[in-house]
Amino acid sequence: MAHTSSYDNSKPTAVHLEMGPEQGFEDKADLSGQAATDEHGHSLLHFDPAAERRLVRKIDLYIVPTVAMLYLFCFIDRANIGNARLAGFEKDLHLTGLDYNKVLSVFYISYIIFEIPSTVACKILGPGWFLPGTALGFGILTVAFAFVRDIQTACAVRFLLGMFEAGMLPGIAYYMSRWYRRSELAFRLALYVMMAPLGGAFGGLLASAILRLDSFGSVHTWKMIFAIEGIVTIGLALLSFVTLTDRPETARWLSHEEKLLAINRLKSERVGTTEVLDRMDTKKVLRGILNPVVLATSWVFLLACITVQGLSFFAPTIIRTIYPNATVVHQQLLTVPPFVLGATAILVVNFTSWKTDKRNIYMGVSALPVIVGYIMFLASTNAKVRYAAVFIIATGAFNSGALCNAQVAANVVSDTARSSAIGTNVMFGNIGGIISTWAFLPGDKPNYPIGNGLNLAAQSLILITCVGMALWMTMDNKRRQRKDVAAELSGLSHEKIVDLDWRHPGFEWRP
């Protein structure tokens, strides 16, 4: 483009251009069909920091609470089987040997199969309809799980539950990428991803409270956990049909000027983009899936989910091996403090990520305390040492959910590529989830050396992968900076330039 800009790399949210409103490039101008960056990806817009802060606070208020509550009960509905196990689930269904692991793993089969299709469906249908619909589905199925009588029906309901839950985590991440800048996204994702450890904590508290009841309608003991928590999820899903809106243009709670500001902020970070929400395009779907940073980050998420899902499903069991003489309610309560610490760590790490606009380094550093914790678990059989290890593990294990999704969202350009990239990342994560269901086997107890050793190896690989990814992105960015962008784009139509996505010569990887 013919315009000149001064690009301040140290302040990605306050890029300035000495250009007046008469030239049509003010922050609240209608730039439909126009790019908001130059050919190198530098913003052509100046944004009023105060106006941006007001807008972001409003988006935070309207968007984050609803998606956070949906994900909280999504996670509780998925992981409450671990609490039910302590309350007699295996005994009532006559599960023996590896039957419990089979019930866990069948959930991930459907989760993996429907991951990318669900994220694409979220884009096509619109998050305002898709997210409440999937929440309603898994709420109904959670209630249905209270009435299973054998392993066959348990596996069937868990398979359907996985199908409905498949779109929730990537769908929310994709939805929030429609509202937030690259630097802002990780912390906002953290505000709902922290519901995973809080779900572990709250799930334990809720389960212990529910188990104090004599009955709930016609159901008793562990069945009450699924019936009550499923009903709460159904209520939240129905409420979210009213509260969620697809995108800034359709938000009744934004003024016209705020809508334009919300759209232009995103366009100013996306090289070659003329529309924030593009049409579905197979080429751009593949750009999101086959992006090298997306694939490397997805591998990290796979490894991280081996630990996260393992903690979620087996934390009550691990606590029982540490304190075998405690009551069931006391064992449930002992699972709460580590998960609360994990939620706090998510906020701290991702707040720092937001302020530094970095993600990869925090993904790698988060593996360090987890490595230390599993070394402690393997080296000692002392109950206090092992319980302390659970706390140390929790400070790093849960951080990857927000960081990895923010990382893949930051390293694609188009909305379509972003939906498939996030879907790919979460699909890999759930491959890690299915691995985790076979990490802690009955024949391995009470010390579970295989499960703990697997988690130690996974976290070590995360550290190695993040170091390698950082080196590769640095080298490839230097290679890209040597390119003649104008010459490489010469002769290409607008459609072909847009389809380049991360292959655009002016694009740079964001670590």
> What would the pLDDT profile of 287-340 be if each residue is shown by its tens digit?
889 999 999 999 999 999 998 877 766 677 777 777 888 777 777 678 788 888
Model pLDDT, residue 468: 96
Residue pLDDT, tens place only, 94-113: 888 888 888 888 888 888 88
Looking at per-residue pLDDT, the higher value among 179 and 77 belongs to: 179
Backbone phi and psi for residue 211, each to the nearest 5 degrees, phi listed first:
-70, -10
Percent of the chain with pLDDT over 70: 88
Residue 52: partners with Cβ closer than 8 Å, 6 or more residues away: 13, 261, 265
- Give φ, ψ of 320 to 5 degrees: -65, -35
* pLDDT value of position 15: 36
- Cβ-contact 92, 146 below 8 angstroms: no
154-160 long-range contacts (CB < 8 A, ≥24 apart) are 154/93, 154/103, 155/102, 155/103, 155/106, 158/103, 158/104, 158/106, 158/107, 159/106, 159/107, 159/109, 159/110, 160/110
**pLDDT in the model for residue 372:** 94
Q: How confident is the model at residue 29 (pLDDT cuts 50, 70, 90)?
A: low
Whether the Cβ atoms of residue 224 and residue 358 lie closer than 8 Å to each other: no
CATH number at 61-252+268-503? 1.20.1250.20
Quick: pLDDT tens for 112-143: 888 888 888 888 888 989 999 999 998 999 99
pLDDT tens profile 148-184? 989 999 999 999 998 998 888 888 888 988 898 888 8
Tally of CB atoms within 10 A around 150: 11
> What's the CA gap between 177 and 376, in Å, rounded?
38
Q: Which residue has the higher pLDDT, 13 or 285?
A: 285
| C-beta separation of 398 from 343 below 8 A | yes
Token pair listed for 270: 């996306």
pLDDT band at 200 (very low <50, low <70, confident <90, very high): low
Reply yes or no on whether the pLDDT at 82 is more than 80. no
d(CA 347, CA 390): 19
Average pLDDT for the chain: 82
Stated pTM of the model:
0.75
pLDDT of the residue at 457: 94
- Tens of pLDDT, residue by residue over 246-284, are 888 888 888 888 888 888 888 877 765 656 666 777 888
Q: Do residues 51 and 33 make contact, with C-beta atoms less than 8 angstroms apart?
A: no
Q: Does position 220 have pLDDT exceeding 90, yes or no? A: no
The residue-averaged pLDDT of 425-429 equals 90
Domain assignments of the chain as residue spans, ordered by start: 61-252+268-503
pLDDT of residue 155: 92
**pLDDT, tens only, 331-383:** 767 878 888 888 889 889 999 998 898 999 999 999 999 999 999 888 888 87
> Hey, which residues does 16 pair with through a beta bridge?
6
pLDDT of amino acid 237: 93
> What pLDDT is recorded for position 4?
34
